[in-house]
Amino acid sequence: MEHLYNEKKKGAPVFVLLHGTGGTERDLLPLAELLNPEYNVLSVRGNVQENGMNRYFERHGEGKYDWEDLEFRGNELYEFIVEKSKEHDFKLEDVVFVGFSNGSNIAIQMMLQQPGTFKRAALFAPLYPADVEEKQDFNDVDVFLSLGKGDPIVPEAESDRVINLFEERGADATVTWVNGHSLTQDAAMEAKNWLNG
């Protein structure tokens, strides 16, 4: 998978950056720098194409996921992160997911598929339009959620579903609301305070 790895400080936590639809592995680098300039960075480009745009998994239209593909791609990306953790000598529990939109969604998938593995995530404009039967244990999960009022892609009820998905599993969820489907400077600063507080 197309990616870049920036080592800032040996043994520091590792941001796994996951861009939105149509993005690249460079999109969230300024955000990572703002959140904590000492964290190492693994940024991965989605390897699914939709009308020439990079994504992490296929869908059948806005908000209509190809669940089979999502499961496959979630496992594929997880294996890739495991491989990179061995190559660059970092622990999976030191990973902090930072995702926007489509990137947030694949992060949620990996956290559900690999409970107990990933402890921290800052997810901007996430959507996970399904009721998840399995009650994974997220008691040691700390998550920052930036959600949109009047988001044209993620209805408010779906944002609430994401909050519930984490809280029902015991995660410590810090929630902020922005306008629309966006990653704002204010939300980024709140995420910074959450991460370093």
* Average pLDDT along the chain, 197 residues, taken 10 residues at a time: 96 98 98 98 97 97 94 98 98 98 98 97 98 96 98 97 98 98 98 97
Give me the pLDDT at residue 80, please: 98
Closest to 100 (Cα-Cα) out of 76, 119, 127, 68: 127
Provide the number of structural domains found in the chain. Answer: 1
Give me the pLDDT at residue 183, please: 97
Give me the pLDDT at residue 50, please: 96
Give me the pLDDT at residue 87, please: 97
Give me the pLDDT at residue 30, please: 98
What's the CA gap between 169 and 165, in Å, rounded? 7
What's the CA gap between 133 and 169, in Å, rounded? 11
Residue 190 · residue 124 · CB < 8 Å: no
User: What are the residue ranges of helices labelled H in the chain?
Assistant: 29-35, 67-88, 102-113, 156-167, 185-196
Domain that holds residue 134: 3-196
* Angle, CA of 85, 30 and 123, to the nearest 5°: 65
The percent of the chain in helix, strand and coil, each rounded to the nearest 5, is 35, 25, 40
Give me the pLDDT at residue 85, please: 98
Please state, as a whole number, how many other Cβ atoms lie within 10 Å of the Cβ of residue 60.
Answer: 10
Active site residues: 101, 151, 181
Residue for token digits 């190559």? 87
Beta bridge partners of 5: 42
Output the domain CATH number for residue 151.
Answer: 3.40.50.1820
- pTM, 2 dp: 0.98
Give me the pLDDT at residue 82, please: 98
What's the CA gap between 3 and 16, in Å, rounded? 10
